[in-house]
Amino acid sequence: MAGNVWEWVNDRYDEDYYRRSPRANPQGTGMGTRRVLRGGSWLGYGYGVRSAYRDSDDPGNWDINVGFRCVRSP
């Protein structure tokens, strides 16, 4: 699904979070106002179109290449 739109995720953004986070299942920082976007979009460059690629934005902003994915627990 990478490359469709940037996907909003629940985590707040901290540029250095992964340097000090747990290796298994990091839950994200609880500080800051920006939220994490993952996966890149059809409007971006090839290097960013992968699920591990992350960026951030203010959750009040919107654009044609930003969205979300609905999920359901089994």
Helices (H), ranges, 9-73: 17-20
* Mean pLDDT of the 32-55 span: 84
Per-residue pLDDT, 40: 84
Domain extent, residue 62, equals 6-21+30-67
74 inside domain: no
72 inside domain: no
List C-alpha distances in Å: 26 to 13, 18, 22, 65: 13, 8, 5, 26
Residues 14-39: pLDDT tens digits?
Answer: 888 888 888 887 777 777 889 989 88
Per-residue pLDDT, 10: 81
42 inside domain: yes
Judge whether residue 57 has pLDDT over 90: yes
Cβ within 8 Å of residue 54, ≥6 positions away: 13, 36, 37, 38
